[in-house]
Amino acid sequence: MAASRLFVSADAVRARFSAVLSQIYRREAPRYADLRELVESVNANALAQGEALAVRLGGAGELNGLSLERHGAIRLGTSEELSIIRRLFATMGLHPVGYYDLSAAGLPVHSTAFRPIGAEALRANPFRMFVSLLRLDLIEDEEARREASALIARRRIFTPRLLALLDRFETNKEIDESEVGEFVLQAAEIFRWRNEATASAELYDRLRQVHPLLADIACFQGPHVNHLTLRTLDIDAAQAAMRARGMNPKDEIEGPPRRKRDILLRQTSYKAIAEPIFFPKANGAGAAGTHAARFGEIEQRGVALTAKGRALYDRLLADARAADPAGGDAYMDALLQRFEAFPDNDQALCAEGLAFYHYAPTEEGLRQAGDLPASREAAALLRAGYLRIDPILYEDFLPVSAAGIFQSNLGESGRRVLAGEANRRAFEESLGATVLDELALYAEEEARSLAASLAALGLAPEETFARA
């Protein structure tokens, strides 16, 4: 028999990959290193406040790996790139969840989130990737479309070595410890910044005029990671600290307003910084210029909403935007006011079917196990103190927020009107797989926890009625 080999789990590959990406980004983007320090001190302050924070975090307050990146984002040019990225991320336990149509916000891309599935994987390492694919079908300028697709068709974003390793890992269904270091370095190489464009300054400018995203995707040798995102325990304090330190944050925190029980996802970022780029010319000469693409982001997550809760969220968000389209602090005030209509405690959110919860038996429930009347509903068991609930954290993204993040980094010229609509089927064809439904994942987790809790109380799941 061959000497024993050590195999590495997908969670461990993801942890190593995201650590390498973080190191590279910190080195290449100094303001991101500053942001890390800022968030660390904001988080330390928040932790020192203690109790209020513990209440707000509830069961979602997993503090392990607080300083690990929560996500990164890239933009791809072709179906081939996307389908290989899907295979690559699968080796890291990252799977496509959700479809995000950004055409509605004037952006010629559609996206998915490659993320860990299940509480255990998320706890092992929370990193995920928001991945967008260029939609040339939304670019009306035919000449620009042709030139952009010629540029993208010429580039090779994966090294032959990476493709060979990927093939082998897929065939063997496992990754040997001795090769994982090389594998994650080769993978991180895809997303590195390159300060030499593939297009002349003239072509870059022309594509930028057509749409700034088109230039960002088509004029470079690879899909540079455009931001990494840290978790903050107090995003309002972090936003204020970014302002105070002159870090040029975006004007508004995306997502819901500050609440006692956080819902969904709140995000903000410092704006992308212009970086020097060499634009080549056919005769070997070239021109020095700049390109602004890279920024740093922070996020704060809350409880996942049901379809009903999400509909209420979308409506209140749209109302606030309509009340103050100018944005800034006035918009944040309008938002707070509108969201007074959204219940702000776990009992109400759960009872009204607005958010997803993880059920567990209480000690008292376990003492009574076997003696409880078989016909009691989950809500009654909760009220009687035999069951408890903890929020299930939202692990996905929000299209309106994502559009806000994109746009604040593309400048005013990022706000366009595009003729087009969502095309999930085309996205899945490019991906070579279907995307998972995020609501179904949360609903399953809730249902599983309720069934296990009822069994622990000596009650068969069929005898009680979970809410829809």
The footprint of ligand OOG (CB under 6 A) covers 73, 75, 130, 132, 226, 267, 397, 401-402, 405-406
**Positive or negative: CA dihedral 348, 353, 356, 357:** positive
| Residue 401 binding: pick among ligand OOG, Ni ion, none (C-beta 5-8 Å cut-off by kind) | ligand OOG
CA distance 380 to 362: 14
**Positive or negative: CA dihedral 110, 268, 210, 223:** negative
Residue closer to Ni ion by CB (options 130, 193) is 130
378 touches 451 (CB < 8 A): no
Residue closer to ligand OOG by CB (options 268, 306) is 268
> Dihedral, CA atoms, 10, 16, 21, 22, nearest 10 degrees?
120
| Residue 242 binding: pick among ligand OOG, Ni ion, none (C-beta 5-8 Å cut-off by kind) | none
Q: CB of 439: closest distance to ligand OOG in angstroms?
A: 18
Q: CB of 408: closest distance to ligand OOG in angstroms?
A: 9
Residue closer to ligand OOG by CB (options 128, 358) is 128
Q: CB of 267: closest distance to ligand OOG in angstroms?
A: 5
Which phi and psi (to 5°) does residue 263 adopt?
Answer: -120, 155
Which of 228, 255, 239, 227 lies closest to 38, judged by CA? 239
Q: CB of 405: closest distance to ligand OOG in angstroms?
A: 4
| Residue 186 binding: pick among Ni ion, ligand OOG, none (C-beta 5-8 Å cut-off by kind) | none
Q: CB of 232: closest distance to Ni ion in angstroms?
A: 13
Which positions from 285 through 304 interact with Ni ion, judged by CB under 5 A? 297
| Residue 75 binding: pick among ligand OOG, Ni ion, none (C-beta 5-8 Å cut-off by kind) | ligand OOG
The residues, ordered by sequence, that sit 6+ positions from 402 with a Cβ below 8 Å of its Cβ are 100, 102, 111, 130
Q: CB of 406: closest distance to ligand OOG in angstroms?
A: 5
CA distance 415 to 406: 10
Q: How many CA atoms lie within 13 A of 402 on its CB side?
A: 28
Q: CB of 402: closest distance to ligand OOG in angstroms?
A: 3
CA distance 17 to 151: 28
**Plot region of 353 (φ>0 → left; ψ -120 to 50 → alpha; else → beta):** left
**Residue 413 neighbours by CB distance under 10 Å:** 12
CA distance 302 to 109: 27
Residue closer to ligand OOG by CB (options 169, 406) is 406
| Residue 147 binding: pick among Ni ion, ligand OOG, none (C-beta 5-8 Å cut-off by kind) | none
E-strand ranges in 145-196 read: 175-176
Binding string to Ni ion for residues 54 to 93, with x set by CB under 5 A, is what? ----------------------------------------
Q: CB of 410: closest distance to ligand OOG in angstroms?
A: 9
CA distance 369 to 156: 61
Residue closer to ligand OOG by CB (options 36, 358) is 36
Residue closer to Ni ion by CB (options 193, 342) is 193
DSSP states of 1-48: -PPP--EE-HHHHHHHHHHHHHHHHHHH-HHHHHHHHHHHHHHHHHHH
Binding string to Ni ion for residues 218 to 237, with x set by CB under 5 A, is what? -----------x--------
| Residue 125 binding: pick among Ni ion, ligand OOG, none (C-beta 5-8 Å cut-off by kind) | none
Q: CB of 109: closest distance to ligand OOG in angstroms?
A: 8
The residues, ordered by sequence, that sit 6+ positions from 220 with a Cβ below 8 Å of its Cβ are 155, 194, 197, 198
Binding string to Ni ion for residues 174 to 213, with x set by CB under 5 A, is what? ----------------------------------------
Residue closer to ligand OOG by CB (options 109, 382) is 109
| Residue 266 binding: pick among Ni ion, ligand OOG, none (C-beta 5-8 Å cut-off by kind) | none
337 touches 322 (CB < 8 A): no
Q: CB of 295: closest distance to ligand OOG in angstroms?
A: 8
DSSP 304: P
| Residue 449 binding: pick among Ni ion, ligand OOG, none (C-beta 5-8 Å cut-off by kind) | none
CA distance 12 to 419: 43
Residue closer to ligand OOG by CB (options 148, 402) is 402
| Residue 226 binding: pick among Ni ion, ligand OOG, none (C-beta 5-8 Å cut-off by kind) | ligand OOG
Enumerate binding residues for Ni ion (CB under 5 A): 229, 297
